[in-house]
Amino acid sequence: NNFFRSLIIPLLFVMLALTHSSLQSLAKQPSCCPHAPLAAPVLCRPHQSACNLSRRPRKGVQRRDSPVAPVAAQGMDTNEAEEEEERVLRTLQQCTRRIRELGDRGRVKDAIQELANLSKKNVQPDTYAATALVRACCKDMELAQSVFDELFGDFLEPDEVAFAVLLRGYGNANPPNWQKIDATLTTMQLKYGLVPATTSYNALLEVCCRTNDVERGEDIIDRMHTDEVEPDEFTEAAVASKRTLRAYLRKVFS
């Protein structure tokens, strides 16, 4: 695994370096939120583990798009720019779909190469493609975390969906790695200013149901209610296999 990572992580560096020059001309988005201290964590009674879910109000929905316009579109007239935009969008959609397929087949190296090949097409990766690649790597969470760290931050802004992939990945460990889950939530809030919402809570509840961790699940539902995060159909699906949590969710939000 270490040898594999030593080969493919530099590949990401090369791909990102090829598109870095176009990013330098843009104002960087703030990547940390220094005025947003963590609220009291959710302490899970039997384990005394913390899931740091901020009580700060949401600042709005995060967009899941590419941070900049394609380089090739600069200097074009309107029609050419529109055609280029369509080409880039089509290329990114195809790349994301291909990465998902390769990830499902366990062909992680090929999935990484698929993203790296975007540089040959003069297309910058977007959040969808990057998230798909992180998901493809989640059978090896050290690798998935390394890929996440290389793709997001300087080049792309992660959103809640991208972090939920990490939450599920660490939650799929046996036993779940709640320490890493806690660290992921902390990074999400303090470094990127993202407030955990339904997507994050659903990922945590899925882990609790899979491991029959009812008390931790009840704590998470209580925190959802306190933070005024309304459950959705995916929340219902997450707790569907545990009657106790399903009933508790309906009780709390009735």
Q: Is the pLDDT of residue 90 over 90?
A: yes
* Residue 33 CB partners (closer than 8 Å, separation 6+): 189, 190, 191, 192, 193
Instruction: State the pLDDT at residue 60.
Output: 39
pTM for the whole structure: 0.75
Residue 8, pLDDT score = 55
pLDDT at 155: 79
Q: List, as own/partner pairs, every contact residues 25-30 make where C-beta atoms lie below 8 angstroms and the sequence separation is at least 24, other chains included.
A: 26/67, 26/68, 29/67, 29/157, 30/193
| Residue % of the chain over a pLDDT of 70 | 70
Res 154: pLDDT? 76
Task: Check: CB of residue 84 under 8 Å from CB of residue 73.
Answer: yes
Q: 172, 138 in Cβ contact below 8 A?
A: yes
Read out DSSP for 173-185? SSS--HHHHHHHH
Q: Is the pLDDT of residue 242 over 90?
A: yes
User: What is the maximum alpha-carbon separation in the chain?
Assistant: 63
Answer for the pair 12, 146: CB distance below 8 angstroms, yes or no.
no
Task: Report the pLDDT averaged over residues 223-240.
Answer: 95
Alpha helices in the chain (DSSP H): 2-23, 78-104, 108-116, 127-136, 141-151, 160-171, 178-190, 198-210, 214-226, 233-238, 243-252
The whole-angstrom separation of Cα 65 and Cα 92 is 10
**120 vs 243 pLDDT, higher one:** 243
Q: What's the confidence (pLDDT) of residue 19? A: 45
pLDDT(250) > 90: yes
Q: How far apart are CA 156 and CA 220, in angstroms?
A: 29
Using CA atoms, how far apart are residues 220 and 218, in angstroms rounded to an integer? 5
pLDDT score of 77? 75
Q: Tell how far CA 180 is from the center of its chain.
A: 14
The pLDDT confidence band at residue 153, using thresholds 50, 70 and 90, is: confident
The pLDDT of residue 63 is 38
Evaluate if residue 138 carries a pLDDT over 80.
Answer: yes
**Which residue, 74, 77, 111, 78, is CA-closest to 96?**
111
Least confident of 2-16, 20-34, 61-75, 158-172: 20-34
pLDDT band of residue 71 (cuts 50, 70, 90) is very low
Statement: residue 118 has pLDDT above 80: yes
Q: For residue 191, what pLDDT is reported? A: 94
Q: Name the pLDDT band for 130 (thresholds 50, 70, 90).
A: very high
Range name among 94-108, 128-142, 150-164 with the lowest pLDDT average: 150-164
Mean pLDDT, the chain, integer: 79
Question: What's the rounded mean pLDDT across residues 165-177?
Answer: 97
The mean pLDDT of 134-145, rounded to a whole number, is 94
If you ran DSSP here, which 8-state letter would residue 30 be given? P
CA separation for the pair 19, 119 (Å, rounded): 7
Instruction: Give the per-residue pLDDT at 76.
Output: 67
